[in-house]
Structure 1
Amino acid sequence: MSLLELFIIAVGLSMDAFAVAICKGLCLRKINFKKAGTVGLYFGLFQAGMPLIGYFLGVQFQNKITSIDHWISFFLLAIIGINMIRESIESKNEVGIECAVDENINDETLAFKNMIGLAIATSIDALAVGVTFAFLKVNILSAVSFIGIVTFTLSMVGVKIGNVFGTIYKSKAEFAGGLILILMGLKILLEHLGMINF
């Protein structure tokens, strides 16, 4: 897998975290590097950790299903992508967002009990992508580091965007992320079937 392909997957995976980070930015009255970094760190660490777990799970079955691994990769990425697109369409109909705002640095919205659930929820998709990495024989340490850094960066940007612009970009980010993952899954499938060669 090329660096460009890995970057595209990393961006696609991070769109859920980016969308939630926008909501977090909306909830915070004052933004500083520490607050944005806290959000980025939660999402970046979990987005990097989940593919690692998925990879080790996938390695256990890799030799048994090599003849259909490209189909599994395609279906996993397509299902994740379709789900993200569905969520983006549904979120357009939502009004408002629940926020617990505090003027202090220890905003309730950034408390461990709030952030840990969001970090897990936004990174579950990455677990399945980690399984596909095992089938594609990706260098997993480089891949998860790259995904973590991209997610960390985009989450910090998302906090700032949410603070300035509100939730206008939330559903667009989820839709784009879903579309990217579907296209990457399709590319993997067509390459293995010999229909395209990039």
Structure 2
Amino acid sequence: MSPVSILLIGFAMSTDAFAAAIGKGAAMRKPRFSDALRAGLIFGVIEGITPVIGWLLGRAALEYVEAFDHWIAFGLLGALGVHMIINGLRPDEGAEEDDTSRHHGFWRLAMTGFATSIDAMAVGIGLAFLDVHIGVMALVIGLCTLTMVTCGIMLGRVLGGMVGKRAEIIGGVILIIIGSTILYEHLSGAVA
């Protein structure tokens, strides 16, 4: 596989995470670059690990993971999206409190990162049957995701300032749309 193909796969695998990061950035109250970089690192590491897991699973049993990966992504992203919408509809308890870690802690970011990386796991399964060095591919996917998520959080910051303090609702809707799109693409691909 050519270096250009590997890079294109890396960016393609990071688009879901980028869209989710825009929603997260919009929901956060004035995220700093360090917040964006932290989220990028969390997403990047997870997105880099999942193709390796998929590659290992692909060596063992392709049809078992491929049969339900889209349902896992849909369920996790949908649940996180609904949770974000509910939080966005709640009245502020400490209106001027600037605590982004309360709403966007490690575990929530990790769950979102995992949910958006299910497709990278499926790609890893496919790579198990190709002549590709999985370590290089995982590194490229992780670095692309780190970059895209960091940029997405900062872009979401700008959008969040324009739409106000209820931007978390937008982030939740984005996560639900991403999950629904993943489900639709897999189901329509299975029918065709």
**TM-score, normalising length from structure 2?**
0.70
Q: Match of 1:172?
A: 170
% of aligned pairs identical?
Answer: 9
* Aligned amino acid, residue 151 of structure 2: T
* Counterparts in 2 of 1:3 and 1:140: CA distance versus 1, 3 Å: closer
Q: Match of 2:54?
A: 58
Q: Match of 2:145?
A: 147
The residue correspondences of 1:1-198 to structure 2 (distance < 5 A) are: 5-6=12-13, 8-15=15-22, 17-21=24-28, 24-25=29-30, 36-96=32-92, 98=94, 100=97, 109=99, 114=101, 118-137=105-124, 139-163=137-161, 165-191=163-189, 193=190, 195=192
Per-residue displacement from partner, 1:165-192 (whole Å, max 9, x unpaired)?
Answer: 532322112212221232123313432x
| Unaligned stretches of 5+ residues in structure 1 | 26-34, 102-108
* Counterparts in 2 of 1:15 and 1:174: CA distance versus 1, 3 Å: farther
Matches of 2:47 and 2:116 in 1, distance apart? 6
Q: Residue 118 of structure 1: CA displacement?
A: 1.4
Q: Match of 1:28?
A: none
**Contact 1:81 1:177 (8 Å CA) reproduced:** yes
**TM-score, normalising length from structure 1?**
0.68
RMSD: 3.2
Per-residue displacement from partner, 1:6-41 (whole Å, max 9, x unpaired)?
Answer: 3541334324532442xx21xxxxxxxxx7211211
Matches of 2:177 and 2:187 in 1, distance apart? 15
* Counterparts in 2 of 1:182 and 1:12: CA distance versus 1, 3 Å: farther
**Contact 1:54 1:128 (8 Å CA) reproduced:** no
Matches of 1:140 and 1:194 in 2, distance apart? 30
